[in-house]
Amino acid sequence: MSTVAIEEASVPGTRRSTIWVLPLVVLVLLGGVWAYVSSLTLDSIETRTLAPEVVLTALWQHVQLVITSTLLTIAIGVPLGVLLTRPGTRRAGAIVLAAANASQAVPSIGVLVVLAMVFGVGFWMAVVALVLYALLPVLRNTMVGIRQVDPALIDAGRGMGLSPREVLYTVELPLAVPVMLAGIRVALILNVGVATLAAFTNAGGLGSVISSGISLNRMPVLIVGSALTIALALTVDWLAGLAERVLHPRGI
């Protein structure tokens, strides 16, 4: 999935008039899946793989993967992005941006599998892979957000006697917030997606429900896993859109 494309895609959903469409879609999706599953007579394999505790565990693992990796992504990406906009780091910043842009061509499954093979499998290795993959939008948007701040505002701030640190906290960061939030939202969406692949490296998540549906050739399992994944992705995107709106500084 490409950062650029997702970033452009996540804008329209935040409009006031359409804000309730997405949760409605999610509810219809979940209701439909529930009705579909209840209309079936499940065989023993399906009953076992679709037991509520199995599915809920997978969902919870998925959520944990997404939250942990997104928080880590922010914790690394934002300070690093700020650092790379300080004077004297221009070259380093350009190199990092170029590298980050080039990394778009790396398939997410590749990052995940190579890391698993070199360093081992499990939750934390999956988190490392997710963070590596989602770092780009956060890092890049932090840098872009800060760099697009009108130099006149920084000049005014410096001229009033704000120290470079005060300028960062009262001028640059608040004004970069909208762009940074957009980057964090993209990171979240990427993380939900790549976390489904974490099933292949024994880190659990909803991907494991989908993949058992495929490997056992049980369509109800596959459909439940996919539908839940889609519902989770849409919900996360919706929540991120709401957060973006709430956290958007007034006056901008």
Cα-Cα-Cα-Cα torsion 35, 38, 43, 46, nearest 10 degrees, comes to 60
Cα–Cα distance for residue pair 169/175, rounded to 1 Å: 10
DSSP single-letter state for residue 43: -
Query: Cβ closer to other proteins: 96 or 236?
Result: 236
Cα–Cα distance for residue pair 154/171, rounded to 1 Å: 7
DSSP single-letter state for residue 103: G
**Chain CA centroid to CA 150, Å:** 29
Cα–Cα distance for residue pair 134/78, rounded to 1 Å: 12
> Among 35, 45, 55, which residue's Cα sits nearest to residue 205?
55
Query: Cβ closer to other proteins: 181 or 197?
Result: 197
Smallest separation, CB 135 to other proteins (Å):
16
Smallest separation, CB 244 to other proteins (Å):
14
Query: Cβ closer to other proteins: 80 or 113?
Result: 113
Long-range contacts for 93-101 (Cβ within 8 Å, ≥24 apart)?
93/143, 96/139, 97/140, 97/143, 100/135, 100/136, 100/139, 100/140, 101/136, 101/140
Query: Cβ closer to other proteins: 35 or 152?
Result: 152
Query: Cβ closer to other proteins: 15 or 75?
Result: 15
Query: Cβ closer to other proteins: 75 or 106?
Result: 106
Query: Cβ closer to other proteins: 80 or 216?
Result: 216
Smallest separation, CB 91 to other proteins (Å):
18
Smallest separation, CB 74 to other proteins (Å):
19
Three-state DSSP at 203 gives coil
Smallest separation, CB 104 to other proteins (Å):
7
Smallest separation, CB 152 to other proteins (Å):
3
- Cβ proximity of 65 and 195 under 8 Å: yes
Smallest separation, CB 212 to other proteins (Å):
11
Distances (CA, A) of 87 to 118, 206, 226: 37, 44, 47
